[in-house]
């Protein structure tokens, strides 16, 4: 079995050893319709379903591998016997685009699969022929049809991801070497602060509506994990934003919520939430 050198190995057992060997000829991209980290995707496959993908990808570009690429994973219906699959974090309706970090990691993974297994960097001619695509490309890749990964991500695959994979495997563009952030304190850039801000707002809002397992408390745990994995930083940052779409939640104490988040982040991030 093959393990990607720039993915974190989170091996699923007994599936990794028990499921049939395959010769991979396809790469299929999915959205999981949940704003989950790689660790949370792994735990869901491990604890809540008998399905699984080969890879999982967080909003921040954190890539995890659960099963070797020469072992069957069960995310692709009739394509399971030949396809490598990746589930990617998304909003609950998988209507959002992939982040820039996700796009880059999908490109790197596509190049690695081409170089390792010879999966061609092209759209398959038929549902069972070699190539790279997204879950809704052929009904045989799902239970008769699916909206996954959503219109925005389908457009990104066609316009950005596949063309860049093709450029890199043809030698036109050097493939960047994936790097691991160094441990220690680093200053947060404005872009990084904005990313944390958007991510925090989404997770808190989702927790208010009780649309995720465990509500706000679990979402805060995922947020802490995401920040630690992405930035490895304890540099203090101050975030403030308005929440106009949630002002109808009269029972939400915004000051107390901000204090709770700041406490869970152990002083590394100071948060102010205001109703707009």
> Three-state SS across the chain?
CCCCCCCEECCCCCHHHHCCECCCCEEEEEECCCCCCHHHHHHHHHHCCCCCCCEEECCCCCEEECCCCCECCCCCHHHCCCEEEEEECCCCCCCCCCCHHHHHHHHHHHHHHHHHHCCCCCCCCCCCCCEEEEHHHCHHHCCCCCCCCCHHHHHHHHHHHHHHHHHHHCCCCCCCCCCCCCCCCCCCCHHHHHHHHHHHHHHHHHHHCCCCCCHHHHHHHHHHHHHHHHHCCCCCCEEEEECHHHCCCCCCCHHHHHHHHHHHCCCCCEEEEECC
Instruction: Say yes or no to pLDDT of 268 above 60.
Output: no
Residue range 108-161, pLDDT digits in tens? 999 999 999 999 999 999 999 999 999 999 999 988 778 999 999 999 999 999
Under CATH, domain 8-169 is a member of which superfamily? Answer: Peptidoglycan recognition protein-like (3.40.80.10)
pLDDT of residue 220: 53
User: What are the domain boundaries of the chain?
Assistant: 8-169, 190-274
Residue range 70-103, pLDDT digits in tens? 999 998 889 999 999 999 999 998 899 999 999 9
Which range, of 91-95, 186-190, 256-260, averages the lowest pLDDT?
Answer: 186-190
């Amino acid at each position: 079995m093959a393990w990607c050198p720039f993915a974190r190995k989170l091996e699923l057992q007994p599936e990794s050893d028990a499921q049939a060997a395959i010769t991979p000829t396809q790469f299929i991209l999915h959205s999981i319709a949940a704003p989950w980290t790689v660790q949370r995707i792994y735990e869901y496959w491990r604890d809540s379903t008998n399905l699984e993908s080969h890879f999982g990808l967080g909003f921040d570009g954190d890539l995890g591998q659960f099963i070797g690429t020469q072992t069957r994973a069960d995310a692709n219906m009739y394509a399971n016997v030949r396809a490598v699959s990746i589930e990617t974090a998304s909003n609950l309706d998988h209507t959002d685009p992939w982040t820039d970090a996700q796009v880059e990691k999908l490109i790197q993974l596509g190049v690695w699969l081409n170089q390792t297994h010879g999966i061609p960097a092209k759209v398959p001619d038929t549902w069972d022929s070699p190539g790279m695509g997204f879950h809704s490309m052929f009904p045989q890749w799902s239970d008769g049809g699916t909206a996954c990964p959503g219109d925005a991500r389908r457009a990104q695959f066609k316009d950005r991801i596949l063309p860049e994979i093709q450029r890199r495997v043809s030698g036109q563009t050097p493939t960047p070497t994936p790097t691991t952030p160094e441990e220690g304190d680093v200053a947060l850039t404005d872009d990084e602060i904005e990313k944390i801000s958007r991510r925090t707002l989404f997770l808190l809002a989702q927790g208010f509506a009780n649309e995720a397992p465990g509500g706000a408390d679990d979402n805060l745990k995922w947020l802490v994990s995401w920040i630690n994995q992405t930035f490895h930083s304890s540099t203090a940052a101050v975030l403030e934003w308005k929440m106009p779409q949630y002002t109808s939640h009269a029972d939400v104490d915004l000051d107390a919520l901000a204090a709770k988040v700041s406490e869970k982040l152990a002083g590394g991030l100071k948060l102010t939430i205001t109703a707009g």
